[in-house]
Amino acid sequence: MNNPYDASPAWAEQADRDDPLRAYREQFLIPPHGDGLTLYFCGNSLGLQARGVREAINDELDYWGELGVEGHFKGRLPWMDYHEYVREHLSELVGASMSEVVAMNTLSVNLHLMMVSFYRPTRERHKILIEAGAFPSDRYAVASQIRFHGHDPDQALIELEADEPDGTVSMQAIEHVLHEHGDDIALVMWPGVQYRTGQAFDLAAITRIAHARGCMVGFDLAHAVGNISLSLHDSGADFAVWCHYKYLNGGPGAVGGAFVHERHARTNRPRLAGWWGHDKATRFRMDPHFDPTPGAEGWQLSNPPILALVPLRISLQLFHQAGMQALRAKSERLTGYLEWLVEHELADTLEVLTPRESARRGAQLSLRVHGGRDRGRALFEHLTAHGVIGDWREPDVIRVAPVPMYNCYRDCLGFVHAVQAWKGSGN
Ligand SMILES: *Cc1c(COP(=O)(O)O)cnc(C)c1O
């Protein structure tokens, strides 16, 4: 089969009918546009609301109203252990054991908490390696940690430039920088999927090389979790952090996540402590001495926000039911279809920057608009006005992510028709 795809509406409709995951779309609220629905390609930025969320939040509000403080111990899911209700599905999703993951805080906060423990610079080894053009929050976080330890980011922050034509980074470039500077690098902080290019990385390979050079390794999985298949435990990474509001549909500002490898479960490294990280069995003795829960839960500070965890719990149930393997299989085909359409129907307008091999990307395609920034903005605004929701990255890139949970093949074809309509009106 040289050509598995076809640009006809009939092909897209048949592909949707044949999609084994088609029922999941019905489980989500797709924002309306006019008499119909938006073509929502922004699940990489804010995932949609699952239909079950409203009722599940109302349940908690009812418990609060009826039980007051007793809601910590009563109700269907007592609040005391609430973060544990997402732990099993979350650990399954990221390929870790239950004690290696925790839902807590938010991404940037978790990144700082992890660096407090795993970025321990010495005079000889105090640098941090990140990718050039990293997400601003990550760059601010690592630079501020460097300053916090009395070093200078201008000297101690290594930002690896992209070495491939479309702005992506080869494994050889990572190997090379670690070969050159590995002895000085305390921490390699790398994305699972880079937010701007959509490039996915081989976490195990990066960890292997970095560990061989004596560096700690942490991953930011904001764009990877719920998007690509992950085996965090087997990757050997020391820690990872992520948010839940992108592919995982946890809702705006949702509680984030963290992974700490089992080998650090009982670490004596410094950490910032709070009562929820204290060993659960003895937490309520209110002992002045901090005795951490072994594993990732030992990094918790506060008792968790129950209402904010509800959408995540509901969404993770859907990921569990659908299965990450099936989601990923659909994702590869769906994104492959959109890529094929862009190349066959829109090559004079758009260019795919995201790597072509499915092992090197997730759902997202980053599309450069030919003709520069103004033309790009004009197209982006046309799409938005017509209910095609992607997002804009300066200076000339539109990011679109058909996500396997609720996007369909007709959405992808609709994107192409919307761009063609814009071109047809003289652009
Ligand atoms: C989305 C995203 C963030 C957002 O951080 P918050 O702390 O959740 O606001 C940070 N880093 C990366 C790489 C992201 O993609």
Helices 409-424 and 373-385, packing angle to 10 deg: 120
The residue whose CB lies within 8 Å of the most ligand 1 atoms, and thus the one to mutate among 137, 227, 244, is: 137
CA distance 103 to 85: 10
User: pLDDT digit string (tens) for 394-421?
Assistant: 999 999 999 999 999 999 999 999 999 9
Residue 335 Cα to ligand 1 midpoint, Å, equals: 23
The residue whose CB lies within 8 Å of the most ligand 1 atoms, and thus the one to mutate among 138, 227, 241, is: 138
**Residue ID of nearest Cα to ligand 1 atom 1:** 222
What is the number of the ligand 1 atom nearest to the C-alpha of 246? 1
pLDDT of residue 192 exceeding 70, the answer is: yes
Collapsing DSSP to helix, strand or coil, 37 comes out as strand
Task: Please state, for a pLDDT cut of 90, what percent of the chain lies above it.
Answer: 95
What is the number of the ligand 1 atom nearest to the C-alpha of 111? 7
**What domains lie within the chain, and their CATH numbers?**
9-50+323-424 (3.90.1150.10), 77-320 (3.40.640.10)
User: pLDDT digit string (tens) for 375-388?
Assistant: 999 999 999 999 99
Is the four-CA dihedral 397, 402, 407, 412 of positive or negative sign?
positive
Q: Is 123 exposed, middle or buried (0-12, 13-18, 19+ CB in 10 A)?
A: exposed
- Indicate the pTM of the whole model: 0.97
pLDDT at res. 1? 47
pLDDT of residue 303 exceeding 70, the answer is: yes
Residue 111 Cα to ligand 1 midpoint, Å, equals: 10
What is the number of the ligand 1 atom nearest to the C-alpha of 256? 8
From the list 12, 4, 8, 5, the residue with the least C-alpha distance to 410 is: 12
What is the number of the ligand 1 atom nearest to the C-alpha of 191? 13
Residue 62 Cα to ligand 1 midpoint, Å, equals: 32
What is the number of the ligand 1 atom nearest to the C-alpha of 195? 15
The residue whose CB lies within 8 Å of the most ligand 1 atoms, and thus the one to mutate among 243, 249, 399, is: 243
For residue 30, give both structure tokens: 């797709």
Residue 358 Cα to ligand 1 midpoint, Å, equals: 23
Pairwise pLDDT comparison (208 vs 426), residue with the higher score: 208
Instruction: Tell me what the mean pLDDT of segment 234-249 comes to.
Output: 98
Which residues have any ligand 1 atom within 6 Å of their CB?
106-108, 135, 137-138, 191, 195, 220, 222-223, 243, 256
User: pLDDT digit string (tens) for 212-233?
Assistant: 999 999 999 999 999 999 999 9
CA distance 300 to 278: 8
Residue 167 Cα to ligand 1 midpoint, Å, equals: 20
**Residue ID of nearest Cα to ligand 1 atom 13:** 135
CA distance 130 to 155: 13
Residue 334 Cα to ligand 1 midpoint, Å, equals: 25
Contact criterion met (CB below 8 Å) for 405 and 43: yes
Residue 362 Cα to ligand 1 midpoint, Å, equals: 17
**Mean pLDDT taken over the chain:** 96
For residue 43, give both structure tokens: 């699940």
The pairing of beta strand 350-352 with beta strand 365-369: antiparallel
User: pLDDT digit string (tens) for 127-140?
Assistant: 999 999 999 999 99
